[in-house]
Amino acid sequence: MPDYLDDLRLAHVLADAADAATMDRFKALDLKVETKPDMTPVTEADRAAEEIIRGHLHRARPRDAILGEEFGVEGTGPRRWVIDPIDGTKNYVRGVPVWATLISLMEAAEGGYQPVVGLVSAPALGRRWWAAKGHGAFTGRSLTSASRLRVSSVGKLTDASFAYSSLTGWEEQGRLNGFLDLTREVWRTRAYGDFWPYMLVAEGAVDLCAEPELSLWDMAANAIIVTESGGAFTGLDGRPGPHSGNAAASNGLLHDDLLGYLNERS
């Protein structure tokens, strides 16, 4: 089995370059912000970071395909890099430091492409998380200065911390009653949003998190980091991996409970 460590090292190089570009424009008074057709914001920093990552990949991995939020799919083949240049653009625009560049390498497998490398870099927080298939998940400032991630061992919902993004999507999908029932059952709820709750699950600081509507680039890196830390990452339909258009992540012990509540229909 490939060890993917060279790809992981490359992901760190890509993140270093992206971090330099995004931090340079973070809180800039003249930051250019536009609205995309799906009514979500995009900044010049989103596009610049993705272009930088694509440029590095063209030189270092010319045979690999690339899928990015801002510039779509490029190339074909069994290996595909998936990029979200700024996950949390609304936070970025408002000067909230909770945003990150998400980089994943996916490989063709039974059931579709599956993540084998994932990296999440949140430079405004001074934090980075990463994982490679079969090698575990880690957090730290570099490959040589890192600590291993492990999910929590909380086994009861009444002792669990649940993180989510917002209420809107749950209501639109008719899942609000089950969502609210879950919030009443758990020990604690917090609306951290974007990449952040998945990293907290991987660290063992949060036990459950879920989002009702997502794209592949929102999930691929998070998925392997959570699973390599010993947790579970599925769609709300229970399908493992980042392909369901939504996500549920947990320490594994509480995953069936999480899905049960979130699939209650109004």
**Which residues are annotated binding-site positions for Mg(2+)?**
69, 84, 86-87, 218
Q: Which helix (H) or strand (E) holds 1?
A: none
Cβ-based neighbour number of residue 190 at 10 Å: 14
State phi, psi for 35 to the nearest 5 degrees. -110, 125
Q: Scan for tokens 């970071």, then name that residue.
A: 49
Scan for tokens 């769609």, then name that residue. Answer: 235
Residue 243 burial (CB count, 10 A): 17
Numbered residues of the known binding site: 69, 84, 86-87, 218
Nearest to 160 by CA among 255, 262, 38: 255
How many helices (H) and strands (E) are present in the chain, helices listed first? 8, 15
Residue 89 identity (one-letter amino acid): T
